[in-house]
Chain A
Amino acid sequence: MTNSSANAALLEQLLSSTNSQFTEEQAVIGLFSELRHPLLRYVLTFGLSAHDAEEIVQEGFLQLFKHLQRGKSRANLPGWIFRVCHNLALKHLDRARRSNAACDGAATAIDQSLNPEELLVEAQRRQKLQAVLRALPEQDRYCVCLRAEGLRYRDIADILGISLGAVSLSLVRSFARFARADQEC
């Protein structure tokens, strides 16, 4: 997550003010503006629609607001919000599977401003990545996507409930598979 240390410093400043109601809202909105797009990207890797991804991220920040209002820990809030959105996305996916609802996935969204050749290259690149991600075990997929969002290994380990060593080995496996797919093209 780029600028996460700057975010943390901003939050420290905002949360240390005496008017807690004001600062909690400001902290949540500040963090939302920094992390909305990384969270949307990550949630989209679950194969959810853009609309559902937006709802999940909004719900995640509502939960963050309530978390702060209840006076819970304010340590590492970026990691906290990724964990909450990860769990919300899993629940949503589970509900969708049970009701056989279709997820539009990420395959439909390609920048229509590209010319036909660029569109083809872009589509191939996306298909290759999605094929690799689909072939990975779920845990490896989450791990490598969280790493792509810049999360530290300890945050990834917290979110997925695994050890630091498991994070490291999972990333090695995923990159090896990605490298093989690269060579096959």
Chain B
Amino acid sequence: MPQQNSHLSDADLLSFADDELPRRRHLLVQNHLATCSTCQSRAAELDRVAANFIQSYLSTFDRPATLADSTAAARLRVRLAQSAPPPRTFWRWAALLPILAGALFLTLKTSHQLRSSFELNIVPNPQLTPGETSPLSKSQVCQASQQQQIPESLKQAVLAEYGVNSASNAAYEVDFLITPELGGAASIRNLWPQPYFNRPWNAHVKDALEDRLHQLVCNGDLDLSTAQHEIATNWVAAYKKYVSPNTPM
């Protein structure tokens, strides 16, 4: 505790600045600082040193990551899917899973053929996924959260329809073409397997478009049926029109 005629320690000053002191001690330090110009100067000096350190630290270690954010997240998703516990009936195959997972990862990383098939799914096949809506009004779409879970059986049906085999399905998100936030239905005609890995046009980019269209519709700047039509027809073109004409990073 600081005495009337003594000055605060650097540890007290730093902990005070970091808001790390217990309440009583915080008040004592605060009262002392209010009247002691020596400690005020020392506190300012410590602040300056700490700020300089952080600036140097960030400029030294904040270097561009080896993977883009979306690629790193996609890679983690695949690894999480691989590490999920298998169904009980498949326990005896458990020992093979790491090998299969490694093979899957290498295949995803290197196979030009598989990469091409990702690119084919940037936009869905209009024959299989023309888009389908629920009979919701604009006010219903905007007033309540329209998030919907896709039943596992429906996801599997969509993957099968697009010929995605079970070994590859962790690299895809079965996604709504017209999002429920814009009145899209949980129907096989409104779902397709969207690749996580594809750059730049992937599920994360489409999420940004969906948020933007929902905002425009609810602000009254865009008709709901127009938003539904544009996202169903070509969501990449809609992104360029409503979010940014530039290709996302």
Contacts and interface: CB of A to CB of B under 8 A. Distances in A.
Interface of A: 19, 21-22, 25, 28-29, 32-33, 36-37, 40-42, 44-45, 50-51, 54, 58, 61-62, 65-66, 69, 106, 109, 111, 122, 125-126, 128-130, 144-145, 147-148, 152-153, 164-165, 168-169, 171-172, 174-176, 178-179, 182
A169 B11 contact: yes
Nearest to A25: B80
A61 B50 CA distance: 30
B60 A29 contact: no
Contact of B73 (A32, A169, A182): A32
Contacts of B52: 178, 182
Chain B interface residue count: which class? 35 or more
Given A29-B73, A50-B66, A58-B79, A168 B20 contact: yes
B59 A106 contact: no
A129 B77 contact: no
A29 B83 CA distance: 14
Given A111-B63, A178-B53, 5 more contacts: A21-B84, A40-B65, A126-B60, A128-B56, A182-B52
Nearest to A129: B56
B75 interface: yes
A149 B145 CA distance: 35
A137 B15 CA distance: 21
A111 B45 CA distance: 30
B149 A144 contact: no
Given A65-B83, A175-B49, A175-B53, A153 B15 contact: yes
A29 B77 contact: yes
Given A125-B60, A153-B15, A175-B49, A54 B83 contact: no
A109 B61 CA distance: 9
Nearest to A128: B56
Contact of A33 (B59, B60, B69, B79): B69
A41 B84 contact: no
Contact of A171 (B14, B75, B149): B14
Interface string B68-91: 010011011101100111000000
Contacts of A169: 11
B8 to A, nearest CB: 12
B95 interface: no
B79 A153 contact: no
A45 B61 contact: yes
Given A45-B61, A106-B60, A175-B53, A69 B85 contact: yes
Contact of A129 (B46, B60, B69): B60
A25 B10 contact: no
Contacts of B61: 41-42, 44-45, 106
A16 B75 CA distance: 25
A32 B79 CA distance: 13
A28 B78 CA distance: 12
28 contacts: A29-B80, A40-B65, A41-B61, A42-B61, A45-B61, A50-B65, A54-B67, A58-B75, A61-B76, A62-B76, A65-B80, A69-B84, A69-B85, A106-B63, A109-B63, A129-B56, A144-B53, A147-B18, A153-B18, A168-B11, A168-B20, A171-B14, A172-B10, A175-B14, A175-B53, A176-B10, A178-B49, A178-B53
